[in-house]
Chain A
Amino acid sequence: MTRGLVALAIVALFAVPWLVTNTFFMHLAIMVLMWTALGAAWNLLGGFAGQVSFGHAAFLGVGAYATMIFHLKLGLAPWYGLVLGGVIGALVSLPIGFICFRLRGPYFSLATLAVAEIIRIIAINWETLTDGPVGMLITTLPELRVLGQPVDWESKTPFYVMIATIVVAVIGATWAITRLRFGAYLLAIREDPDSAEAVGIDTVRTNVTALALSAFFTALTGGFYAIYFRYIDPDAVFSIALSVEMVFIAVVGGLATAAGPLIGAVFLVTLAEVFRERFQVWHLIFYGLFMMLTIRYLPEGIWGRIGLLLGRRG
């Protein structure tokens, strides 16, 4: 039953570009999926392990820059760079994890914020590698043939398929984690790190693994960001605001749930894109407001609350 529904949802997800022709709606759908991927990746660490990172823009930026640098300086096609970027993001997260996980709760959050700022400042100043504050630009994407058909980079469809694949992968990973022993470890750490340690869970190793997984998907989405917008600069991809938005998507949707980030992204991103048309900054005002309302009245998030209601009735 559930399996059928999930299969149906995935088919529906990939059918969208053949049903929707309006470019604005396609852009909206891509944005929703991009933020779903980011929120879900953040959720792997923040929701399940309860480690609130305010520095995930670091991984998004590393993924985006890796994709750009491999393409512009080494001539590697950006879709390979995207995957490599994910791996690099995961590698970068390892030392960060071993440093920051010695701290707990809010101290961990502050440390991740500091790490992200350090990486941003390096990206601005290491001009031989990143071209500094000027940013990096892909003018034309190289040709690609899929099943003998040339891909049309001017349409939104290839980007949609790309990001939808990433979303399915990250939500699939989240779902798998809820079923595995690893997920139980993470929840145990979230509820009580001392008890978790006492029953023999290596908390640092478990957290570092969760962070690496989370960083991999965040960096992967960062690579997508670079290909889709074709332009990045340090203040755009490493900003604190970006880190905070990822947190909001996951919290508003529902912490530690597989579908929560999708709900959060549909809700917040639609709101944002609709408002962006008319007022530049209103969407961030609403982000802040919804964050406050959610924490105060709906700490389990929209999807979490729906789950609770259904659970009570059934």
Chain B
Amino acid sequence: METLIQSLVSGVLTGSLYAMIGVGLTVVFGVMRIINMAHGDLVMLGMYGAFWAHVGARVDPFLSIVVWMPLMFLFGMAIHRFLLRKVVLGGELNTLLYTAGLSLFIANLALFVWTGDYRTIKLSYAVMPLRPFDIAVPIPLAISFGLAIVITVALYWLLARTDMGRAIRATSQDAEAAALMGVNVERTATITFGLGTALAGGAGVLLAPSLYLYPTVGEILVAKCFVIVVLGGLGSVPGAIAGGILLGIIESLGAVYVSVAYKDLIGFVIFLLVLLLRPAGLFGVGKS
């Protein structure tokens, strides 16, 4: 019983970060129909951001998020404005191939600049886990979990309550109708891509203290990301949150009750089953 609760808890903690990455990918898909193959590499950039803030400037990695999220937002807007905007017109497959190229470019540039060494962030306050009710909760994961919830709630508020959020949701539902109602679709798309990139980068910052860092980590993350958004239904924000937490739990239960070796396999098998049987996602809210 204790093992079950323990693995559920760690599943939810990791899942909250998966959710944040997934939300970034899914809002971008909703507005632009882009499946961004480089999303995992944007997470990787956030991870290195936190690492260098910690090593170079002696800033707490979690604190550095206030710098990196706005920077990643601008970076994402620049990518869309200068690189992706024209390519999107060529159709979904072109953007898929283009972002695959972008992914290879970013990952290997990082490999060149930062080398392939595995790095870790050592925090003085993270040596011993918290032990509420005899359940081990690693401190960095607990902090990440809290921050991920704050950021996700802020995003919800932005999407639900602000004019920008309404424009994003309207474009996501029907770009032409939104344009007819006076929404500047191009600008909305640029801002949405910025938002998706900021979420990816932010999640990277939060993940950095709990994972090994290496330049090609994005390859694994992006694969997980696809699983998450397809579970929840492509284009759906609540779906991505549920999908992220679900994948976190599946992986952690799988590692305990099936085998560590095959835990990643379970995610992919469920991914295929959902794609085939429920292409709109487990909750039937996605767009196909």
Contact = CB atoms under 8 A, between A and B. Distances in A.
Nearest to A110: B226
Contacts of B94: 295, 299
**Interface secondary structure of A, over-half rule:** helix
Contact of B223 (A107, A109, A240): A240
Interface in B61-105: 83, 86-87, 90, 92-94, 96-98, 100-105
B interface, size bucket: 35 or more
A121 B272 contact: no
B279 interface: yes
A240 B269 CA distance: 17
B200 interface: no
A124 interface: yes
B276 A106 contact: no
Contacts of A122: 265
B268 interface: yes
A121 B90 contact: no
A241 B219 contact: yes
A106 B264 contact: no
A115 interface: yes
Interface in B128-143: none
Given A50-B93, A52-B93, A285 B105 contact: yes
B112 A285 contact: yes
B57 interface: no
B93 A117 contact: no
Contacts of A105: 92-93
Given A240-B219, A279-B112, A296-B86, A288 B276 contact: no
A80 interface: no
Contact of A299 (B90, B108, B109): B90
A118 B273 CA distance: 13
Contacts of B276: 99, 102-103
A279 B275 CA distance: 41
A12 interface: no
A219 to B, nearest CB: 21
Contacts, number: 116
Contact of B101 (A52, A111, A121, A291): A291
B230 interface: yes
A137 interface: no
Interface stretch (A35-43, A66-74, A156-164, A243-251): A243-251
A291 B269 contact: no
A25 interface: no
B86 A282 contact: no
Nearest to A245: B104
A287 B262 CA distance: 32
A299 B265 CA distance: 35
Interface string A271-300: 000000001111011011111100110010
Nearest to A282: B112
Given A107-B279, A111-B272, A284-B108, A121 B96 contact: no
B98 A244 contact: no
A258 B156 CA distance: 51
Given A118-B269, A121-B262, A251-B97, A284 B104 contact: yes
Contacts of A109: 35, 93, 96
Contact of A288 (B86, B104, B264): B104
Given A50-B93, A103-B279, A125-B262, A292 B98 contact: yes
A292 B226 contact: no
B268 A125 contact: no
Nearest to A124: B261
Nearest to A248: B101
23 contacts: A52-B93, A52-B96, A102-B276, A106-B93, A110-B35, A118-B272, A121-B265, A122-B265, A124-B261, A125-B261, A241-B219, A248-B101, A285-B105, A285-B112, A287-B101, A288-B106, A291-B101, A291-B104, A291-B105, A292-B101, A292-B102, A296-B83, A296-B87
